[in-house]
Amino acid sequence: MKRVLCNPLPKKGTDSLLDEDESHHIRSVLRLSSGETVIAMNGEGQACEAIICISKKSVYLTFISEYKSNFSQTVFPITLYLPLIKLDKLSLIIEKATELGIEQVQLIATTRTQIKPNEQQSEKILQKLQKISDQSLKQCERLYRLKIYPPQPLHTVFKSLKSDEKFFIAKESLSAAAFSGSLSEKIQQLGTTFKRAHCLVGPEGGFELSEYHFFDEMKLLYPNQVHTVHLGPHILRAETACFYFMTVLCSHFLKS
C-alpha cells in the first residue's frame, strides 16, 4: 500500500488536506485516483489507513482505520554530524541515514567544507534534503521523520554533550588514530555504557590541523565521552565514512 505524509492525520469525521508536494506526488508520480487506499503518516510515529479524495484543486484524505506496522519502528539514538560536502553526496547520505534509522543529522561547517552557504541558501539546502529524506521515509516504511538541522560551526557541536553520551570522531587513516583504536574496538570496550552516540566525519580533504587541536582539547575536557577512532586501514571518502559509522553504530544499538 502506498504511503503519504500528512500532518495532522485524518480522524473520524474530519478529512485532512494534503500539502502541495504530497498532492503532486499522489496525482503525477503515483497516479492514484479517488477511492484508492493509502497509509497516511504524520512523521511522528503515528499512521492510519485513509481513502484518497481528489478534487480539481486539492487532495484530501478520509480516515478508515488505525494502522499498526508489522515492523519494529526503531529509530536509533544516533546523531550524525555531516560536513557540507557536494549536494549529490549529501543527498545520498541523507537517504541512507533515513533507511538505516538514524534519528538526526546536524549539518556542520568546517574549514574545508565544499559549500559555504548563506542563510537563505542553507534553508534551501535543508528543504531539499528533508524532501529527499521524506521520500525515503515512505519507501522504507519508517514512521518517524529524520530530523535535519541547519549548518552550525564545528566548535558548537560539543556544547550539549551529556554524561551518558559518547562522541566519536573519525580520524583519516589508521596511522592518524593508532593510539585510539578502531570504531568497533572502542564500542566493544564501552559496551552498553552509553545511551546516545554522536559521530563526526571530516569533509573531503579532512580536518585542518587547528581542528585536530580543538578535538584534543575536547578530549581533555570530556575524557570519558569524546573518542577519536579509525575506520580501517584506508582513507575513506566522506560519504563512505558516514555509511561505515552509521552501520556499525546501528548494529550496536540493535544488539543492546
Tens-place pLDDT, residues 184-207: 999 999 988 899 999 999 998 889
Please report which confidence band the pLDDT of residue 254 belongs to, taking 50, 70 and 90 as the band edges: confident
Which residue shows C-alpha cell 561505515?
Answer: 244
User: Same domain, yes or no, for 24 and 139?
Assistant: no
Q: Is the pLDDT of residue 209 over 50?
A: yes
Letter string b/e over residues 66-88, b meaning 16 or more CB atoms within 10 A of that residue's CB: ebeeeeeeebbbbbbbbbbbeee
**3-state SS, residue 167:** strand
Residue 27, domain extent: 3-66
Give me the CATH number covering residue 53: 2.40.240.20
Q: Is residue 182 part of a domain?
A: yes
Q: Tell me how many helices (H) and strands (E) the chain has.
A: 6, 11
Please state, in angstroms and as integers, the Cα–Cα distance from residue 15 to each residue in 11, 12, 41, 58, 158, following that order: 7, 8, 14, 12, 44
How confident is the model at residue 152, as a pLDDT? 93
* End-of-domain residue from the set 46, 66, 86: 66
Distance CA 200, CA 157 (A): 9
User: Same domain, yes or no, for 87 and 62?
Assistant: no
Tens-place pLDDT, residues 85-98: 999 999 999 999 99
Q: pTM of this prediction?
A: 0.90
User: Same domain, yes or no, for 117 and 235?
Assistant: yes
**Amino acid occupying residue 221:** L
| Mean pLDDT estimate for the chain | 90
User: Same domain, yes or no, for 42 and 162?
Assistant: no
Please report which confidence band the pLDDT of residue 112 belongs to, taking 50, 70 and 90 as the band edges: confident
User: Same domain, yes or no, for 17 and 134?
Assistant: no
* End-of-domain residue from the set 40, 66, 92: 66
Give the Cβ contact number of residue 184 at 10 Å: 15
User: Same domain, yes or no, for 87 and 33?
Assistant: no
Q: How many domains does the chain have?
A: 2
Tens-place pLDDT, residues 146-155: 999 999 999 9
**Amino acid occupying residue 88:** D
Characterize the bridge pairing of strands 165-170 and 37-41.
unpaired
The alpha helices in the chain, defined as continuous H runs, are 20-24, 87-100, 119-140, 183-190, 209-221, 238-255
User: Same domain, yes or no, for 244 and 136?
Assistant: yes
Q: Is residue 41 part of a domain?
A: yes
Distance CA 162, CA 68 (A): 34
User: Same domain, yes or no, for 61 and 96?
Assistant: no
Q: Is residue 62 part of a domain?
A: yes
For residue 35, give every residue at least 6 positions away whose Cβ sits within 8 Å of its Cβ, in sequence order, or none.
Answer: 51, 52
Q: Is residue 71 part of a domain?
A: no
User: Same domain, yes or no, for 95 and 35?
Assistant: no
User: Same domain, yes or no, for 158 and 139?
Assistant: yes
User: Same domain, yes or no, for 12 and 80?
Assistant: no
Please report which confidence band the pLDDT of residue 71 belongs to, taking 50, 70 and 90 as the band edges: low
Give me the CATH number covering residue 225: 3.40.1280.10
Q: Is residue 48 part of a domain?
A: yes
Q: Is residue 26 part of a domain?
A: yes
For residue 187, give every residue at least 6 positions away whose Cβ sits within 8 Å of its Cβ, in sequence order, or none.
Answer: 248, 249, 252
Q: Which residues pair with 79 in a beta bridge?
A: 104, 198
* End-of-domain residue from the set 22, 48, 66: 66
| 5, 134 contact by CB (below 8 A) | yes
Q: Is residue 208 part of a domain?
A: yes
Strand order in the sheet with 37-41: 3-5, 37-41, 47-54, 59-66, 16-17
User: Same domain, yes or no, for 90 and 117?
Assistant: yes
Q: Is residue 181 part of a domain?
A: yes
Looking at the chain, the whole-number percentage of residues with pLDDT higher than 90 is 72
